[in-house]
A and B are shown apart, each in its own frame.
Chain A
């Protein structure tokens, strides 16, 4: 009896699974076409896209779809939501197992991961040479992330320009305004920050322990990085890095920057008013604005610059991402779609900015009236026009194929330095770690 029941159940499940996969193969037959190589057979065509964040990138893609449909009524997008970590895993798996026909037409890639992916897996990408996109309409520093040997592999989308956002109410309690924090150096910043801390008890900055975001922003603000032009690691004998680490150590030791342990805690210090300011890519604005009770209390300005470092500026960037056209794409359609939307439609950027806070890297969009509108949350400041202006002043730097190895090694070094290790010894070890990783 029992056996009989068990085995019927088993058989039923097998049938169910088979049925499921049968309907999968029939419907994914359609899916395969969209991600397949020759989707332009139908004329209008569908493009498949991988990207993450429904409120941001996916929203922007959908808006672009609507705009492109005005002239191409048969056009549609098939968007798959994939988090960045998962997208990277998928790309690596497909490239490594040589299953490139599973790639979508377009995918989004973090700017910091571009060099690594293009150099290791060039056959994932189609380059933009024949796309008609005018890359001179994007800031050089942003285009540089996705350029390998002079060839463009990415259309910059998500803007990673760095901002310093401050709480004007807390600064006022200490007798300062946002102007006191504009166009200053890090030495001045620490002095001001110590005063704010003494008067209000609030730190000026928050940061994740072991994260190198702030250090990397300081480096880029001076056009420096962890690699030289030949791709060799330059963690030792790097003036900008030494200066950045010195500043960071002083920030932590003085309490002007409070370190927390995770991203959730980091966001918590911002939305629950436990910091007087924050420095990050402009995209942090979305998190800042998730605390509606703080409306009108924030202002945005540029970053402090490193003292005594050649080429130091008040401008930098953190993160951001760009659209890649895959090697499996309907190239003509994908290129035309991207060129007429993300590299050619003010209407698109005017739509997505107010709704999602997605800021253009495409310089012509910055001239639109929408960008000049005062933002209530930031006390009436026209922050978007301001940031688009910042973006043009960010120095380019070399991310490098071994970006993550180097960044992680520096993160370990900083933790050690804050625990009392001699900086030059810690950096020497970081240099060796990266050299080891590059050696195999």
Chain B
């Protein structure tokens, strides 16, 4: 009884946080089924305009090709980023020397400058490489970020060094230790890294807009930006587009969240 009561504040806080989190999403979902006029009047009950909104969306905008481009770019970015930054983070921590620590600190400076300031030199760089309008120009700058490296480095700190030593005594090569021993135990970290990289890549707007000048590889955030550009915005259609654009990141989280729940203790022993 008392134990239950003690849990009550926790449940209340969780319930409050969950409700507050979900409510605006409910509003968004309901709006996707309403007419533009109803959305503006903050109607909170589902309407019957979903199919009409969908109809206008697919006839006015290249929805499916945008979904496809966003998917290819976000998935490629995520896989590449997780592979190269996890090795780097492991390298920084497990083999850490003063020089490597300094390099890490130096690399961190790279994210501390607003993108608006470096965008034009970056554009010039890719233009010189002949990569304007290439999806690779969107993927490459995003596959290595100091934060991801730092995430893996920070997470590696709690990885027991004794295990590495033991593996070395067993005669395992360094890369094999990383792959066979470290990798499986760090699943929650990999899941977190994948979720955030995917989300960042999926919602990335400014750089893709600038480098993908022709609409050949138009992504979803660019589509959303175009919907709002006219004299008359169809808010029902906009909310539906937003809903569709939000779904994949949610799905990725649903898939990967099992990894967050897995303890590592079992894996180590």
Contacts and interface: CB of A to CB of B under 8 A. Distances in A.
* Touch between chains A and B, by CB atoms below 8 Å: yes
B76 A97 contact: no
Contacts of B206: 89
Interface stretch (B94-102, B225-233, B246-254): B225-233
Interface residues of B, number: 51
A84 B216 CA distance: 18
Interface string B111-154: 00000000111011001001111111001000000000000000
B204 to A, nearest CB: 14
B133 A83 contact: no
A27 B216 contact: yes
A44 interface: no
Contacts of A421: none
B88 interface: no
A287 interface: yes
B90 interface: no
A82 B228 CA distance: 11
Given A14-B80, A56-B231, A286-B232, A28 B216 contact: yes
Contacts of A20: 72, 135-136
B6 interface: no
A271 B216 CA distance: 36
B158 interface: no
A99 B132 contact: yes
B180 interface: yes
Contacts of B40: 264, 267-268, 271-272
A31 B179 contact: no
Q: A18, A81, A267: which has the most chain B beta carbons within 10 Å?
A: A81
A25 interface: yes
Contacts of A96: 120
Interface string B24-58: 00000000000011001100000000000000000
A224 to B, nearest CB: 27
B37 A271 contact: yes
B198 to A, nearest CB: 13
A3 B183 contact: yes
22 contacts: A3-B175, A9-B79, A13-B76, A13-B80, A17-B76, A24-B134, A28-B133, A28-B214, A54-B230, A55-B231, A55-B232, A56-B231, A83-B229, A94-B213, A97-B121, A98-B124, A102-B127, A264-B40, A271-B37, A272-B40, A287-B231, A291-B37
Given A21-B136, A271-B36, 15 more contacts: A2-B180, A3-B178, A17-B76, A17-B136, A20-B136, A21-B135, A28-B134, A52-B229, A81-B226, A85-B229, A89-B206, A93-B120, A94-B213, A284-B231, A290-B232
Interface of B: 36-37, 40-41, 60-61, 72, 75-76, 79-80, 83, 119-121, 123-124, 127, 130-136, 139, 175-176, 178-180, 183-184, 206, 209-210, 213-217, 222, 225-226, 228-233, 235
Interface of A: 1-3, 6-7, 9-10, 13-14, 16-18, 20-21, 24-25, 27-28, 31, 35, 52-56, 80-86, 89-90, 93-94, 96-99, 102, 264, 267-268, 271-272, 283-284, 286-287, 290-291
